[in-house]
């Protein structure tokens, strides 16, 4: 299409990102958006395809391959199509159908949703909770219902896109602090409450600190005890996103609060998703009765969007009951122990091989640093060819020079599967010369 010759005219897609996407991403696009099939369990089915030399297009060969799955967020191994959850979900779909066809205000609030909200609150150890059909919308739609113009948000620089969007939509002033750096957070808090003018009142209506439990690209765990100390000292509120920590860490699988042995009621807003540990989809907000009542009435996600599909709600109820031991077995406990063992074993072995990893030893998110964009493409292709599916991440999701592969561990991985994956990774590591170090990896 001919571009109009008008001074200052900019074509719709002309940005640095689009330049990058066109020249770099197009050449490595076979590493992303690969169609898959079946259950995203310990193994998964990937659809075979071939691309031409320049990777402009794909031809589907009609075949498929089964590979070890280290790409899905299936921490507790609840993504399955058999067993107690699957049977209860099947029965629920028979009883309720697939959709509720309405928002919770408009005859879309099932007895099952009521049961789920109560169960989530019990799981978290808070007064009440409410659920949203999408994790992303839980952040982006609820933060604007809590803070607005005249408020200040202090947001970790590595917060997820859904948190960033929620903060922007709120209209509050946003300041970011260095990732998990308590010194920088305190500096921002101090500056926020010290008025340059003679003090007559606090300059901000509300100050909200926004952090995640486990950071999904870094595998780091928030320094929650210190964040809580600072929020109390400076009379701020705390919004904690536990998407990657609920179910996945802590002796009882109750997230980062459980991990540090803290009181969940000290966190003002507990947010999390069901997409990862519970093999379902959607998100929740938990906290005081007053908070949850307010959001049920005022949040866009509660008023203007259909409530959760019954089958999904049942998956959450069934898996949470197992985790709470309400099924009369110790299955939940076993899954937590298995995930912890798998995580520590996998991380330790990779470090012994000389790979540079990010994150905490108990984080089931394991980023393996490669640094160069060309290496992530090769890593992805080689691992699929050798029977292992793993996510690779580069710019713009990470800084240009911090490209990485990201392994997500699961309680459903057996030791044999871990050993096989370690061997594959070691071989590719030799091929790509990415066993950079025998030294201690950086930790946050």
Residues that bind ligand PMP (CB under 6 A): 134-136, 139, 160, 162, 212, 216, 241, 243-244, 273, 275, 283
d(CA 336, CA 324): 11
d(CA 339, CA 337): 6
Residue closer to ligand PMP, measured from CB, 153 or 417: 153
Cβ-closest position to ligand PMP = 135
Residue closer to ligand PMP, measured from CB, 112 or 280: 280
Give the three-class secondary structure for 139.
helix
Minimum separation from the CB atom of position 271 to ligand PMP (A): 8
Give the three-class secondary structure for 361.
coil
Closest of 249, 420, 216, 422 to residue 337, by C-alpha: 249
DSSP string covering 266-315? GSSEEEEESSSTTSS--EEEEE-HHHHHHHHHH-HHHHSSB---HHHHHH
Closest of 347, 386, 378, 382 to residue 363, by C-alpha: 347
Residue closer to ligand PMP, measured from CB, 160 or 375: 160
Minimum separation from the CB atom of position 135 to ligand PMP (A): 2
d(CA 262, CA 200): 35
Contact 377, 392 (CB under 8 A): yes
Minimum separation from the CB atom of position 36 to ligand PMP (A): 16
Minimum separation from the CB atom of position 143 to ligand PMP (A): 12
Minimum separation from the CB atom of position 365 to ligand PMP (A): 9
Residue closer to ligand PMP, measured from CB, 215 or 434: 215
Minimum separation from the CB atom of position 283 to ligand PMP (A): 6
Residue closer to ligand PMP, measured from CB, 275 or 321: 275
Minimum separation from the CB atom of position 273 to ligand PMP (A): 4
Strands 128-132 and 152-156: unpaired
Residue closer to ligand PMP, measured from CB, 71 or 429: 71
**In which residue are the tokens 């917060």 written?**
159
Minimum separation from the CB atom of position 69 to ligand PMP (A): 16
Give how far Cα 157 sits from Cα of 173, 203, 313, 343, 416, Å: 15, 23, 33, 26, 38
Across 311-348, b (16+ Cβ under 10 Å) vs e yields: bbbbbbbbbbbbbeeeeeeeebeebbebbbebbebbbe
Contact 250, 277 (CB under 8 A): no
Residue closer to ligand PMP, measured from CB, 213 or 310: 213
Residue closer to ligand PMP, measured from CB, 104 or 160: 160
Residue closer to ligand PMP, measured from CB, 273 or 321: 273
Residue closer to ligand PMP, measured from CB, 139 or 343: 139
Minimum separation from the CB atom of position 363 to ligand PMP (A): 13
Contact 112, 260 (CB under 8 A): no
Minimum separation from the CB atom of position 287 to ligand PMP (A): 17
Give how far Cα 10 sits from Cα of 5, 15, 16, 178, Å: 10, 9, 13, 34
Cis peptide before 186, with omega less than 30 degrees from 0?
no
């Amino acid at each position: 299409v001919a571009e109009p010759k008008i001074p200052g005219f900019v074509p719709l897609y002309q940005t640095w990102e689009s330049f990058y996407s066109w020249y770099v991403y197009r050449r490595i696009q076979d590493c992303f958006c690969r169609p898959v099939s079946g259950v995203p369990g310990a193994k998964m089915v990937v659809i075979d395809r071939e691309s031409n030399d320049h990777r402009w297009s794909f031809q589907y060969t009609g075949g498929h391959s089964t590979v070890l799955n280290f790409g899905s967020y299936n921490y507790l191994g609840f993504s399955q199509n058999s067993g107690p959850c699957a049977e209860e979900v099947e029965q629920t779909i028979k009883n309720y159908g697939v959709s509720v066809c309405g928002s919770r205000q408009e005859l879309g609030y099932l007895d099952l949703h009521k049961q789920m909200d109560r169960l989530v609150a019990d799981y978290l150890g808070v007064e009440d909770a409410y659920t949203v059909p999408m994790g992303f919308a839980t952040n982006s739609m609820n933060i604007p219902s809590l803070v607005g113009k005249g408020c200040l948000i202090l947001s970790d620089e590595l917060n997820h896109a859904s948190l960033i969007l929620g903060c922007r939509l709120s209209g509050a002033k946003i300041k970011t602090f260095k990732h998990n750096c308590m010194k920088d957070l305190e500096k921002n808090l101090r500056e926020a409450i010290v008025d340059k003018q003679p003090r007559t009142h606090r300059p901000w209506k509300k100050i909200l600190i926004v952090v995640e439990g486990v950071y999904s690209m870094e595998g780091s765990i928030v320094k929650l005890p210190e964040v809580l100390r600072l929020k109390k000292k400076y009379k701020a509120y705390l919004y904690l996103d536990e998407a990657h920590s609920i179910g996945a860490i802590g002796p009882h699988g109750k997230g980062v609060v459980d991990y540090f042995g803290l009181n969940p009621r000290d966190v003002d807003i507990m947010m999390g998703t069901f997409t990862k540990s519970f093999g379902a989809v959607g998100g929740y907000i938990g906290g005081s009765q007053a908070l949850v009542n307010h959001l049920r009435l005022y949040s866009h996600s509660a008023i203007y969007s259909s409530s959760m599909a019954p089958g999904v709600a049942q998956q959450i109820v069934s898996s949470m009951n197992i985790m709470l031991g309400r099924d009369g077995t110790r299955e939940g406990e076993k899954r937590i122990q298995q995930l912890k063992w798998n995580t520590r074993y996998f991380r330790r072995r990779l470090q012994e091989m000389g790979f540079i990893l990010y994150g905490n030893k108990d984080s089931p998110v394991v980023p393996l640093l490669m640094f160069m964009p060309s290496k992530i493409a090769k890593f992805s292709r080689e691992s699929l060819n050798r029977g292992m599916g793993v996510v690779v991440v580069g710019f713009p999701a990470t800084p240009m020079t911090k490209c990485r592969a990201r392994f997500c561990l699961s309680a459903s991985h057996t030791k044999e599967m871990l050993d096989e994956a370690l061997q594959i990774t070691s071989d590719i590591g030799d091929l790509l010369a990415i066993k950079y170090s025998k030294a201690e990896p950086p930790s946050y």
